[in-house]
Structure 1
């Protein structure tokens, strides 16, 4: 079977919307310097001209998106397997995270030292990350070494060793990280919020696991995860750089052709975070408190997501220009930082915000936040605020397409969210089409300040006020 190629011409000077999935795991293999990965994939990409996205199908039937550029002798490949930490077995929290930390610790006949020495000699960079819904991979290579790098990466994915000696060392590193996290207020607040909001759903479990689950993890547990999740039917791939469609087709079969055709994923039910109000205060001897607050969000596939994205930018996602920052920090000096974001997880979207403030100011800060959310939900936004948000969101995204790696990352998330190969081209029009009435309608639908789920970590001097009784 020959490679098949379909192309889509898309303008770079437009914006992609994909909320962060919280990439909380990373295992890097970058022992030798590659050419500057921040260099533009092509001169025209940094200047807002046309980018050619090709859809390539390998002889073995594996599909990928390609942005071909021969400006630099560098190839960046990003890929993902659907599954992520939501596929951790019950009682084995951190299974996916542990896997990501072990993927460069030996494969095939190569133990950890031999594998890493080989990777160093090839100037190969290989990373794996675990989010709630996807296991992400990143591969970067010099053009001259591509065939050998692709073979070594294939070995890592199809024949990982997970040797006991390497597991012992990595386990100690993960446990040390968990110990550190126990004293980080923001991490503690986030983990507690997930548990309070999602309860027994996989989203309610910590991605990094617990000291108990990590201590009990076995080689068989890691092999079982790879067997269930690393499969071609759950795979999406993007490549950018110095590689032709024909060469990419061959590379796809080398990298992924040896994986099982079908995955063995455990069913994940849709998560519906309970309506608040609910709160949990976790005492920690720190000079300032961190609070995380949120409620149900809007799915990425919902027609209201783009208006919600614009709304969030104005309310809490726009940094110092956001309304929460203005009310909480600029006008009252209550907090060092306050922000919000939309997280459109595949099985349950949430709107989450956070604020860091003096212990004695927690209650007042949360009252101001709740009051501001109530006002936006009732009154909507001004035309000036909407116009300013549109101008920023349609103009700033070109900066995220300045390098091979950034282009690969953005296009991968377009695939993960199933937005279509033409999404970049049409996205600006979707933003511009949002009206003030749209934003007002979505504000009333999304913002539920009387239903906030809140976690506070620190030594709050006063109890925050919520509408209704605590859950």
Structure 2
């Protein structure tokens, strides 16, 4: 009994410390002399530095060569003007540091993690700056990576859930740059040449197009010097033009693609919201109750618990620079595809009527109580402040968000859901052999 009480006490103290840490998160922001935006949080608790650099260089900037942004990001770190691939890898490993990169539709992101000890930090930063600022695209590495990329795309084409997702984005966004997969297609990747990578790199990997985020055992002056050193390694450049507006589908659509599978993969989507939308918090809370909250959600109860139509069903908003989709997804036996879709349709219409004060408070308590766990490491925190900087959200966002959740009334949640969900045409995609 005493052991259980001790465990509960430690759990309570851990939660208390998490909330205190969250309350203590103070984001500082400024610009370097080269025009790069900097986000900084001092975190002296661990002798580590986490750094993330986000460029407005995602696949929305691909042009006609779909996959160009992702392949450019993937090859950065493979060679520089003075180092080859092995030297770069060995250099980071020797320092016990970690380098990684990724690209999505909006951004290309590069991360460095190392000890904050000055001698190690300086060496890791020097190599990181060289990798980003003096990237070289070796044709032999390009050919190797292209072969690997094509094999990956071929494998994707054998996965019905991926086919459903690609078809959803293509149909929902039409001619917009968001429409195509960040990975590109086998046809477009075949056309990417060394000169394309170099041109994309020179256009988008500039200081004025970068958000530099730092979290770690640093003071403001150290953070300023680090950010300045990295920005100086990049050409100043200019920001790219804003993306064209997202146009809605004119009419609801249902698309079916035959695929030899025992399951039918079903996706429903409509135009959602962009980052910074004033209704985001209310919609986030509503979706936790609808399909984002796992086993306690309305969709899970209707589709799985009551009818046994699917093992899992989910929904989510994907806000981006422009309106990202609101998506509902599940897979079910081919024979039950029609019934499962009917249940989803019915749930969309009946969900709001099931919301009440008790359920809302339960959702709010879970979100507020679990919010500190979303940033319980420096790596998570640097990803958050990078997102805040990239999308121009308020610097107090990490304190503001749970406060707004707590303030929400039931009517505000219902009004936001009714305002957005069902007002845009709904796209339904089925991939499999639905009966």
CA distance in 2, matches of 1:361, 1:43: 44
Out of 125, 129, 133, the residue aligned to residue 98 of structure 2 is: 125
Q: Is 1:163 matched up with 2:138?
A: yes
CA distance in 2, matches of 1:290, 1:154: 44
Paired position in structure 1 for 2:195? 220
What do you get for the CA RMSD once the two structures are aligned? 2.1
Post-superposition offset of 1:146: 1.1
- The worse-fitting range, judged by mean Cα deviation, of 152-161 and 317-326 is 152-161
Q: Is 1:55 matched up with 2:37?
A: no
Task: Figure out how many residues of one structure are paired with residues of the other and give that number.
Answer: 418
Residues 62 and 244 of structure 1: CA distance in aligned 2, closer, same or farther (over 3 Å): farther
Q: Deviation string for 1:82-102 (max 9, x for gaps)?
A: 231100022x00011101210
Which protein has the bigger helix share? 2
Post-superposition offset of 1:326: 0.5
Q: Is 1:414 matched up with 2:352?
A: no
CA distance in 1, matches of 2:32, 2:169: 43
Q: Is the 8 A contact 2:209 2:240 kept in 1?
A: no
CA distance in 1, matches of 2:262, 2:423: 27
SS of 1:289's equivalent? strand
Q: Deviation string for 1:27-76 (max 9, x for gaps)?
A: xxxxxxxxxxxxxxx99964634424242547636442322233333211
CA distance in 2, matches of 1:411, 1:300: 14
**TM-score, structure 2 normalization:** 0.91
Q: How does 1:75-114 map to 2 (within 5 A)?
A: 75-90=49-64, 92-114=65-87
Q: Is the 8 A contact 1:162 1:219 kept in 2?
A: yes
Gaps of 5+ in 1: 1-41, 462-471
Q: Is 1:357 matched up with 2:332?
A: yes
Residues 431 and 59 of structure 1: CA distance in aligned 2, closer, same or farther (over 3 Å): closer
Q: Is 1:141 matched up with 2:118?
A: no
Q: How does 1:130-209 map to 2 (within 5 A)?
A: 130-144=103-117, 145-209=120-184
Residues 302 and 46 of structure 1: CA distance in aligned 2, closer, same or farther (over 3 Å): closer
Q: Is the 8 A contact 2:270 2:424 kept in 1?
A: no
Q: Is the 8 A contact 1:45 1:402 kept in 2?
A: no
CA distance in 2, matches of 1:304, 1:450: 16
Out of 277, 285, 307, the residue aligned to residue 302 of structure 1 is: 277
Q: Deviation string for 1:176-203 (max 9, x for gaps)?
A: 1111111112111111100011111111
Out of 395, 399, 402, the residue aligned to residue 425 of structure 1 is: 399
SS of 2:38's equivalent? strand
CA distance in 1, matches of 2:15, 2:284: 30
Q: How does 1:2-41 map to 2 (within 5 A)?
A: none
Out of 230, 238, 244, the residue aligned to residue 213 of structure 2 is: 238
Q: Deviation string for 1:93-115 (max 9, x for gaps)?
A: 00111012101211111122222
CA distance in 1, matches of 2:114, 2:39: 17
CA distance in 2, matches of 1:418, 1:449: 27
CA distance in 1, matches of 2:70, 2:222: 32
Q: Is the 8 A contact 1:76 1:408 kept in 2?
A: yes
Post-superposition offset of 1:139: 1.0
Q: Is the 8 A contact 2:30 2:37 kept in 1?
A: yes
Gaps of 5+ in 2: 1-13
